[in-house]
Structure 1
Amino acid sequence: MDWPVSVALAQSVQTLPVAHDLHYEPKFDGHRLVMWRLEETVRLQTRSGRDATAVWLDLAVAGMQLPAGVVLDGEGIVYVAGRVDFSAAQSRANSSPARARLLAERHPAHYAAFDVLHHPEHGDVRSWSYVRRRALLERLLEEYGMGPPIQAVPTTTDADLARAWYESLQAQGVEGLVIKTGSSTYRGGSRQWRKLRHSETVDAAVVGFTGPPMRPRHLAVRLPDGRVALSQRLSAPLAAQVAPRLVVAGTGRRARTRSGDAYTAVETDIVVEVQAGTTRHAVVTVTRLR
């Protein structure tokens, strides 16, 4: 398997699907990370394919307990005051290596593993069914005595239990559920999974910005219906998070939305979360980076 791997994605749903062969997992509110256990080290890959090892070094050290050849998919999460804190995970993801070490001392990271993509004995297992991969993941973690900070996310086929998770775990920082078909293979880049969130939000791809790239004022986002719209003015923390990734996108070109708003168009892999209620209008509200 070659670095970086394309990760499987999920599409939003508004109600809990119930059917034969569906498996439900709590959706922890963190930072998507693929854990690569190599011969002599561990590397951590973001959803977009970037190397994030330096800022999640505590998880890389924990991953050394795994056998070489294992590749896991999961979520890097940070607990603050007993609950999963997305802001803390984002602070870690967007910090410098030196600051990340300080943050790790205050709030160590955890890794919520939900899939195995490669195994030292079986090789690339992405063509296996979810049920078979899940069983392999559980055996692997048990065989090597893995525990916190690396653990498998819970899973169930009981829709009533999943609904209870959805209703009761929000206070602990669980943002909803991910639903997977038991017979499904792992298809990178495909929105083959489904996600049910508490928040009324949708994901949107960033296709441009206004202002200078180091100090963006607004983002141009492509909404689920294909329409490109400008966001409301970014908060200072959001602008600081997205700026470095806009800079590396290179020189853009001038473009306009259908409503005539001008922006600098660039090709990026940035995805942001926007309030669903604002997407009917020409301006949308960005709540955070995904």
Structure 2
Amino acid sequence: MSVALAATVRTLPRGDGLAYEPKFDGHRLVIVRTAEDVVLQARSGRIVTAAFPDLAAAARRLPAETVLDGEVVIWHAGRTDFALVQRRAAAASAARAAVLAQSLPASYAAFDVLELAGLDVRGRTYERRRALLVDLLLPLGPPLQPVPMTTDPELAATWYETLPASGIEGLVVKRLDQTYPAGRRGWQKLRHTEVRDAAVVGYTGTARRPLALVLVLPVGDETPLVSSPLTAALRAEVAAAVAERAGPSRAAEGATVTAIGLGEVPYRPLDPPLTAEVRHPSTARHPPPEVLRLRTEP
């Protein structure tokens, strides 16, 4: 299932016929309710049903042959927590996934319906799809919920300024008369922070326990930067990925990089590099880049 994408904008789009939704900080997830069961698909196409048994159970209440597009999020202390979503997604077994589902229950912020009871609705306008989505999910209740939406740009601007305290990244803007732009950047997104892909040219720590990544951002003078410390889930993911890419260690030959607050630290190069999605302010080098996820899949 090819999902719709969004192009980044620097200012809030305004005009007639626009709809605004909060942009949740989670993992993109397509829910496919087949005639027999439920399939949960990540943006990459990877099947992640086993990692989210709570969402799969909730999705079994949907009509057969229904497909939803949205974001899986986890609320903690009044805000969404992306690191906890990563922890859920990295569950190594069905037993571990079941335990995490109890301690870190997931919610699904649905922002589109692609198929409803066997009817492909991607060719209908967003306005009509939105009405179908609300009618479908409101009677079911949590953890499957439609994202908030407004056509009032002033309310959207208020959301943009006030919702970051709840972990909301920004806004997604869609045209009311727009069909579902599968595989295209047909939507627009306005973020509070700069999220971009960076080249992972190395890592600090050991191959079994990477501590941080050495990154080259796609802007600036291409000086390598050291990321903030990796989460436990990311450490495991990076360890698995670098096992196939680690080149000859040059740590003993003096390969070093400047880390904020630490000075010069040794690192192990990667050849070829990996790609990671990182959050990093565009105006300064403080704080260090935060690694959100590896892009190990096409």
TM-score with structure 2 length normalisation? 0.77
Partner SS, residue 40 of structure 1: coil
8 Å CA contact 1:12, 1:202 repeated in 2? no
Counterpart for residue 68 of structure 2: 72
Partner SS, residue 50 of structure 2: helix
Structure 2, unpaired ranges of 5+:
249-268
Counterpart for residue 10 of structure 1: 6
Counterpart for residue 204 of structure 1: 197
Cα shift readout 1:88-138 (whole Å, capped 9, x = no counterpart): 222112232333322221221111100011222422x22222112212212
Counterpart for residue 213 of structure 2: 218
8 Å CA contact 1:214, 1:246 repeated in 2? no
Cα shift readout 1:29-84 (whole Å, capped 9, x = no counterpart): 21111111012211111111111111111000000000111110011111112322
- Structure 2 vs 1, CA of residues 186 and 244 (structure 1 numbering), >3 Å: closer, same or farther? farther
Deviation at 1:22, TM superposition (A): 1.1
Deviation at 1:287, TM superposition (A): 3.6
Task: Give the distance between the partners of 1:205 and 1:39, measured in 2 at CA.
Answer: 41
Task: Give the distance between the partners of 1:173 and 1:220, measured in 2 at CA.
Answer: 25
8 Å CA contact 2:27, 2:73 repeated in 1? yes
Counterpart for residue 120 of structure 1: 117
- Compare CA radii of gyration and give the structure with the larger one: 2
Worse overlay, 99-108 or 212-221: 212-221
8 Å CA contact 1:232, 1:286 repeated in 2? no
Task: Give the distance between the partners of 2:214 and 2:35, measured in 1 at CA.
Answer: 41
1:288 aligns with 2:292: yes
Partner SS, residue 169 of structure 2: strand
Given candidates 264, 275, 279, the residue that maps to 1:274 is: 279
Partner SS, residue 140 of structure 1: helix
1:246 aligns with 2:244: no
Counterpart for residue 44 of structure 2: 48
Counterpart for residue 255 of structure 2: none
Counterpart for residue 264 of structure 1: 271
- The AA in structure 1 aligned to 2:289 is T
TM-score with structure 1 length normalisation? 0.79
Given candidates 117, 132, 139, the residue that maps to 1:136 is: 132
Task: Give the distance between the partners of 2:290 and 2:136, measured in 1 at CA.
Answer: 39
Partner SS, residue 195 of structure 2: strand
Deviation at 1:14, TM superposition (A): 2.3
Aligned residue-pair number:
268
Cα shift readout 1:210-268 (whole Å, capped 9, x = no counterpart): 36876666355673x699775425624275154267369x66999xxxxxxx74226x7
Task: Give the distance between the partners of 1:245 and 1:221, measured in 2 at CA.
Answer: 21
Q: Structure 1 runs of 4+ off > 3 angstroms?
A: 211-222, 225-231, 250-254
Task: Give the distance between the partners of 1:177 and 1:126, measured in 2 at CA.
Answer: 22
The share of aligned pairs that are identical, in percent, is 44
Counterpart for residue 259 of structure 1: none
Task: Give the distance between the partners of 2:188 and 2:236, measured in 1 at CA.
Answer: 27
Say what the alpha-carbon RMSD is for the aligned residues. 3.1
Worse overlay, 25-34 or 8-17: 8-17
Task: Give the distance between the partners of 1:33 and 1:177, measured in 2 at CA.
Answer: 18
- Structure 2 vs 1, CA of residues 45 and 286 (structure 1 numbering), >3 Å: closer, same or farther? same
Cα shift readout 1:159-206 (whole Å, capped 9, x = no counterpart): 0111122222222222211111222222233222222222x2122165
8 Å CA contact 1:278, 1:285 repeated in 2? no
Task: Give the distance between the partners of 1:49 and 1:221, measured in 2 at CA.
Answer: 27
- Structure 2 vs 1, CA of residues 246 and 138 (structure 1 numbering), >3 Å: closer, same or farther? same
Counterpart for residue 179 of structure 1: 173
